[in-house]
Chains A and B, each alone.
Chain A
Amino acid sequence: MASLDISSIKRDFPILSRKIRENNRLVYLDSGATSQKPNSVLDAERDFYTQHNAAAHRGAHQLAEEATELYEGAREKVASFIGADVDEVIFTKSATESINAIAYSMGNAQSGSRFHISRGDRIVVSEMEHHANLIPWQELARRTGAELVWFKVTDDGRLDLTNLSELINSRTKIVALTHQSNVLGTINPLEDIVKRTHEVGALFVLDACQSVPHYKVNVKSLDIDFIAFSGHKMLGPTGVGILWGRKELLDEMPPFLTGGSMIETVTMESATYLDAPKRFEAGVPNMAQAVGLGAAVDYLSAIGLDVIHSHETELTRAAISGLRTIAGLTIIGPTDMTLRGGVVSFAIEGIHPHDLGQALDSYGIAVRTGHHCAWPLMRRFKAVATTRASFYLYNDLDDVNALVDGVERARKYFVER
């Protein structure tokens, strides 16, 4: 398989050449939180504003026409990136909004609708969910009286599927799971879970924030019902997320945000709504951000997700084996590379992650510390917090070595001082 020319990729990302704290090279290992942006994405956004800015789907003028074309063009790019039909792709402001849109739509659905949920129904999540794929379901359960249950996580950071068929039972309306844990790096095996979900007539929602940016995800071959992911973790701008759903579901699903652009007819008393995707895109859309995301998709596609994934696998393997040589360090999550992505969480005896992160920052290394918006998972591993390094296409083995050396240096600073 072709390998990546990292030095040429690094040149595409202006921020990677800046210096951090006392003239250190920036070693950016926090792409799991947000990725950096290549020039082509920045240029696409700027070009939209300098050349084509107007409200899409409105106005009879040339700019409106161009803005519409660019915005809808971005939709086509995203659709083909995930193997979806174009009118199944909805632009939201974030993955968090995408998940909330499904949860609120279900809460709004009348009795008789397949989206209707009430007391006695069941919502299934897992202990490894990001708060964005937990709290919206907690709230939906609270509002409707439905029961929230969850898959446990094993000691080595995998989903415990031993009670799959009891957990997903005939009362289950929705199963919402992450594709890849943002803390553990675990990639969840979906096939049996999706099969069981459909067997009982429930809907399957995939939180793909940590997967779509890093490897090929095809919504049709996964046979799922909904997917949510964010643009800013995949080289795109902030302020744009994606909600994809199967067409026949979207056409039945009640809208969550209502207002302009999503209506068919309006009187003072009532309104009828357009079909998806417009039904779910009330208001003037985030056009420049969508266009930027389209450019990000082009950038990733030109390099190829298979190449990116195998590059990240190599970095992750090196990071895990390097970190494991450090005294008192424990990896939290799987240590083998089977079904595992480029996120590595760890703890060191005697050093709080906040202190470790601070020391690494003083060497120019940016990592994430804290509970990673996955507090229940932290409790599961009896940790207050962890330190997390996450890799992307612009990282190389020098970055991994900087991390391993930096952690060892920090350990000496705090433990042996």
Chain B
Amino acid sequence: MELDSLYQEVILEHYKRPLHKSLKANPTIQVQHINTSCGDEITLNLHTDGTVIQDITWDGIGCSISQASTSVVSDLVRGKSVGEAMATIDAFQAMIQSKGADTGNEDVLGDGVAFAGVAKFPARVKCALLGWMATKDAISQSQSKNER
């Protein structure tokens, strides 16, 4: 059934038991992203020394897709270099916006490949990207803060 291709077991698992969903104090950068069409929101704290993503913690309310997806990205990019993290986010974004053509590389995206099915539901692409775009925004802001 088509619904199962969207709601993979691993997505519902992340939704029910989200990772790193507790804001850690004193972040390098805090961002807040909102999906204006449905009201879902994510607050995300990034800890970084400018080269490595040391920690990503978050809090938020929203649908299973947006919440699970934020859980996945927060777990996936921690410990990665800034460049590697940005490349991972770009790979996820490419998969989600491919309308189903790109099913994702599990070596790069880990649990993120479970969201490949979202690409066939245009209305849910924004949900899947919410946490990833918040992470990308936080990293970009931390980089320009470093440059100053």
Interface residues of A (CB under 8 A from B): 21-22, 352-355, 358-359, 362, 369-371, 375, 378, 384-385, 413-414, 417
Interface centre among B1, B2, B39 (most CB of A within 10 A): B39
Given the known inter-chain contacts A352-B62, A352-B63, A354-B127, please indicate yes or no for A370 contacting B12, CB distance below 8 A. no
Instruction: Point out the residues of chain A lying under 8 angstroms from B87, CB to CB.
Output: none
CB neighbours of A385 from chain B (8 A): 38-39
> What 1/0 mask marks residues of chain B from 2 to 17 whose CB sits below 8 Å from any chain A CB?
1100110000100000
**B38-76 contact mask (Cβ, 8 Å, vs A): 1 or 0:** 111100000000000000000001111100000000000
Contact indicator B12/A417 (Cβ below 8 Å):
yes
Give the shortest distance, in Å, between A358 (CB) and chain B (any CB): 7
Residue of A with least CB distance to B61: A384
User: What is the bound-complex CA distance between A417 and B12, given in angstroms?
Assistant: 9
- What are 23 A-B pairs with beta-carbon distances under 8 A? A22-B2, A352-B62, A352-B64, A354-B38, A354-B40, A354-B63, A354-B65, A354-B127, A355-B7, A355-B64, A358-B3, A358-B6, A358-B124, A362-B2, A370-B37, A370-B38, A384-B38, A384-B39, A384-B40, A384-B61, A385-B38, A414-B7, A414-B64
Kindly report which residue of chain A lies nearest to residue B62, judged by CB atoms: A352
A323 to B38, CA, bound (A): 23
Given contacts A354-B40, A355-B64, A385-B39, 20 further A-B pairs with CB under 8 A are: A22-B1, A22-B2, A352-B63, A352-B64, A353-B38, A354-B38, A354-B127, A358-B6, A359-B3, A362-B1, A362-B3, A370-B38, A371-B39, A375-B39, A384-B39, A384-B41, A384-B62, A413-B7, A414-B7, A417-B12
Size of B's binding interface in residues, CB under 8 A:
19
Given the known interface contacts A22-B2, A358-B3, A358-B121, the answer about A369 and B38 at a Cβ–Cβ threshold of 8 Å is yes
Q: Is A414 in contact with B63, judged by CB distance below 8 angstroms?
A: no
Contacts of A384 in B (CB 8 A): 38-41, 61-62
In the assembled complex, the Cα of A232 lies from the Cα of B3 at a distance in Å of 31
**Structural contact, A21 and B38, CB atoms closer than 8 A:** no
With the chains together, A234 CA to B76 CA distance in Å? 50
Report, nearest first, the 5 A-B pairs whose CB atoms are least far apart.
A354-B63, A352-B63, A362-B3, A370-B38, A371-B39
Q: Are B3 and A414 in contact (CB under 8 A)?
A: no
Please report the C-alpha to C-alpha distance between residue A355 and residue B65 in the assembled complex, in whole angstroms. Answer: 8
Contact of B38 among A371, A414, A417 (CB under 8 A): A371
Query: Contact check: which of A362, A378, A414 meets B39 at CB < 8 Å?
Result: A378
B124 cross-chain contacts in A, Cβ below 8 A: 354, 358
CA A354 – CA B127 in complex, angstroms?
A: 10
Min CB gap B95→A, angstroms: 19
Q: Which of B3, B7, B61, B64 has the most chain A CB within a 10 Å cutoff?
A: B3
Q: Are A413 and B63 in contact (CB under 8 A)?
A: no
Q: Which residues of B contact A354 (CB under 8 A)?
A: 38, 40, 62-63, 65, 124, 127
Q: Which chain B positions have C-beta within 8 A of A370?
A: 37-39
Query: A417 CA to B65 CA in the complex, in Å?
Result: 16
Q: How far is the CB of A134 from chain B (nearest CB, A)?
A: 16
Bound: A66/B6 CA distance, A: 53
Name the distance in Å between A378's Cβ and chain B's nearest Cβ.
7
**Nearest CB on B from A409, distance (A):** 10
Residue on A nearest B1 in the bound complex, by CB: A362
Name the distance in Å between A227's Cβ and chain B's nearest Cβ: 29
Residue of B nearest to A352 (CB): B63
Tell me how far the C-beta of A53 lies from the nearest C-beta in chain B, rounded to whole angstroms.
Answer: 35
List of A residues within 8 angstroms of B2 by Cβ? 21-22, 362
Q: Which residues of A contact B61 (CB under 8 A)?
A: 384
Measured CA separation A365–B76 after assembly (Å): 36
User: B63–A355 contact, CB under 8 A?
Assistant: yes
Please give the distance in Å from B15's CB to the nearest CB on chain A.
9
CB distance from B59 to the nearest CB of A (A): 13
CA of A165 to CA of B104, assembled, Å: 62
Q: Which residues from 92 to 138 on chain B have a C-beta closer than 8 Å to any C-beta of chain A? A: 121, 124, 127
Chain B residues whose C-beta falls within 8 Å of the C-beta of A353 in the assembled complex: 38, 63
* Smallest CB gap from B67: residue in A: A352
The residue in A352, A359, A371, A414 that gathers the most chain B C-beta atoms within 10 A of its C-beta is: A352
